[in-house]
Amino acid sequence: MITALDQPVKPQVFTAVSGRRKTINVLATFLVYASFVVAMVPLVWVLYTVISRGFSALVSETWFTRSMRGILPFDEGGGAYHAVVGTLMQGAVAAAFAIPVGLMVSIYLVEYSNGSRLGKITTFMVDILSGVPSIVAALFIYALWITTLGFSKSSFAVALALLLLMLPVVIRSGEEMLRIVPMDLREASYALGVPKWKTIVRIVIPTALPGIITGLMLAIARVIGEAAPLLILVGYATYINYNMVDGEMGSLPGMIITELNNPSAAGRERLWGAALTLVLIIALLNVFATLISRYTGSKTK
């Protein structure tokens, strides 16, 4: 005998939707798409302008193989080899100091501070440092490194200023990625008798590694385009200088500023070429971060 309890329960279908909800849904959808379009318009416009005006310089055969040594402001030719090398060297030195220090601070704030007074002070100082303008960081390095300690203007001083700008980004990105690691993974490791330091090294960091690497690449891309430290701490050189602690050094922001004062057609071409090269370097850093994030970290089966 089949009772009412044996009958399959049909899912209730909600078909009656009020007109007010439909109107709000349509309005919200329209606002989302409109915001996307508004945000994309300046981005596409900037990219189109930089690419259209700087592409001719990039495709020249001397752009990535020659420097501006011996090239007069009104002369044709020359390249950005010296500027690319200088920009990468300054960014690499700043990253070499900022990445280990920033990650260790992130680990302390997430794993060891536990709401302590030192942790709160550190968080407050990171917040303050993240809002410091680049020119203020450059002036601080000038006052400390050059005026007080007596060192000369150099590319290393620029790297120190970039370090101050890069450090809060590294700390914040590393802290956020470490916090999203599930506590269950830590507790499972502790239950097996694994020490805390080894749990952090073998469990927590590999789990958060893709996000950490992305944050590091964004931090590097954030600082390599800064121009204020270059204007204050080092002069622009039209040649390659591998000595980070002495002499002027070329860089892409410095090349842009120099060629901006050049009214010739060749100067305008080199200006937009340097701008496009800087954009491409930042884009490559983001692509590199995406690839590393995809092939690192813990894999799920």
Could you read off the pLDDT of 231-269 as tens digits, one per residue? 899 888 888 888 888 888 889 998 998 888 888 888 889
Q: Of 163, 155, 141, 159, give the one whose Cα is nearest residue 246.
A: 155
CA atoms within 13 A on the CB side of 267: 12
Mark residue 215 as left, alpha or beta (left: phi above 0; alpha: psi -120 to 50; beta: remaining): alpha
Model confidence, pTM? 0.82
CB 216 within 8 A of CB 51: no
Local confidence band at 301 (pLDDT 50, 70, 90 cut-offs): very low
Can you list the domains of the chain with their CATH numbers? 81-295 (1.10.3720.10)
Give residue for tokens 């370097």.
281
C-alpha–C-alpha distance, residues 251 and 88, integer Å? 8
Q: Residue 38 has what pLDDT?
A: 95
Least confident of 60-64, 131-135, 290-294: 290-294
Digit-coded pLDDT (tens) for 13-49: 555 667 788 888 989 999 999 999 999 999 999 999 9
- 3-state percent helix, strand, coil for the chain, nearest multiple of 5: 70, 0, 30
